[in-house]
Structure 1
């Protein structure tokens, strides 16, 4: 029986919500491509200008997104936040506006100061991490523990470092989420100069 209103009797169909977001159907096999079991993930320790620098040794795990970067007009690769190696092996290959991965490294290690053209958000999973950024010629930082979160806007020179020095023989994990379908990474002028001086990259960006 319909619902009576002041305007008269309304049919039951008029009570059903009309979705504004298109609905799709995904099979179990299709959804399996969007599942990354922790036991299956593979880390990569190369593919970035600072990958071999003693202070920056780390493994990066490309879980969601981070497709292989394009090349610029000069033929040089655009640097992916996870590097060339990990960008080739996304566990969930999608381009839906964000990317997600893990960093695993030892105390005292972390990427050199760098920048992204999109948001980058960090959340330590284990251990203690120092998340730093440059401002007005100085370096500011917050020390974060498991499940703390810091979110850097585009354009801020930033880095992170495992500071769990009371566990020197143990690696720890940090989760990072980076916005956009194809985020770009660029090292700070000081980090770039150091990498060039120490032979880890050429002045024009080859590594």
Structure 2
């Protein structure tokens, strides 16, 4: 495979195309400055404005959220796994019916396998624009987003209505629900009562891994962070490994599923039979199944990356209580 063949499978951080109208809270004060990115797969955007960088099915989706300080992503849920790692900034994640059941603050490199079945949100509590990278289970990303009732109600007050077809309609642009399309129903109290409200102590041990802990653990070989035998034991339809300078190897290897390389720190040289490329933090590279390749730091200094590999596991729920 030549470098020209591989080029469409590489998305550079500086070339990411944001969508500012991706979700129902796009007009809601406090959330109206966020940017959504769909890097690999169809994503979960509710807007036709969303740009997809790589549409090749992988069995999972890769996306990102970029937000200035004090900008918040509203409470929502997915049918499948949602994993975030912090690329830049300082972020507070919170969850529960009203976002008060628990919370955790994450720094660059930290990773969070957010339990499904609970509403979750996040906000940039740093001083600069921040970016978090996302992995969503399944090719269809679980069929969209489920919003907390108050999010849908507040959005309507600011002109945005979500149809039961999963599409947004903006009254500020003169749009309205087409014939045959009804507003997306909100969850009733019985449905809401069935949702767990895990505390911070419930969630942290099995769902959060800290960057510096992973660096220490990956001093000789890569660490499986999320997987059947991972630190965060789960089978969400993909595995996530953490690789550092000390655990990287020039030995060629391949997988029978597509994989994705996502540097967190440092520059990484990826070699394969036919070409080579250097990745920087924020870049995303899709490696085809069965393509032998290697990834090693190309410069001195701190170096770490996350590697995502598809599996045959169903992209199901992660919260087991």
Separation in 1, partners of 2:36, 2:145: 14
Give the corresponding residue for 2:108: 146
Native 8 Å contact 2:28 2:154 kept in 1: no
When Rg is computed on C-alpha atoms for both structures, the one with the higher figure is 1
* Whole-angstrom CA distance in 2 between matches of 1:44 and 1:159: 18
- Report if the CA contact (8 A) 1:106-1:171 is conserved: yes
Question: Deviation digits for residues 129-154 of structure 1, max 9, x if unmatched?
Answer: 01111069843110111011111133
More strand, by proportion: 2
Comparing 152-161 and 116-125, the one that deviates more: 152-161
Task: Tell me what 2:148 maps to.
Answer: 188
CA distance, structure 2, for counterparts of residue 132 and residue 42 of structure 1? 27
Among 27, 42, 60, which residue is 1:66 paired with?
42
Q: For each residue in 1:99-135, what CA deviation from the matched residue of structure 2 results, as whole angstroms up to 9, or x when unmatched?
A: 1122111111121101111110111111110111106
Q: Size of the alignment, in residue pairs?
A: 164
| Aligned residues of 1:100 and 1:175 also touching (Cα < 8 A) | yes
Partners in 2 of 1:148 and 1:137 — Cα distance? 21
1:5-42: CA deviation from partner (whole Å, max 9, x where unpaired)? xxxxxxxxxxxxxxxxxxxxx45433222111223221
1:179 aligns with 2:141: no
Corresponding position: 1:201 with 2:161: yes
For residues 102 and 71 of structure 2, the distance between their equivalents in structure 1, rounded to whole angstroms, comes to 18
SS at match of 2:25: coil
Partner of 2:69: 107
The whole-number CA distance in structure 2 between the counterparts of 1:152 and 1:39 is 27
Task: State how far apart, in whole Å, the 2-side matches of 1:105 and 1:82 are.
Answer: 18
Matching residue of 1:44: 19
- Gaps of at least 5 residues in structure 2 are 170-321
Uncovered stretches (5+) of structure 1, i.e. residues with no partner: 1-25, 68-79
- 1:76 matched to which residue of 2? none
- Measured against aligned partners, the alpha-carbon deviations of 1:51-97 in whole angstroms (never above 9, x if no partner) come to 12221121112211126xxxxxxxxxxxx2474322xx211112211
Give the deviation of 1:49 after TM superposition. Answer: 1.1
TM-score normalised by L of structure 2: 0.47
User: Greater relative contact order: 1 or 2 (C-alpha under 8 angstroms, separation 6 or more)?
Assistant: 1
Q: CA 1:145/1:83 → structure 2, altered by over 3 Å: closer, same or farther?
A: farther
Distance 2:93 2:49 in 1: 24
Partner of residue 72, structure 1: none
* Paired residue secondary structure (1:31): helix
Q: In the TM superposition, what are the counterparts of 1:77-88 in structure 2 within 5 Å?
A: 80-81=44-45, 83-86=47-50
Q: Is contact 1:104-1:171 (8 Å) kept?
A: yes
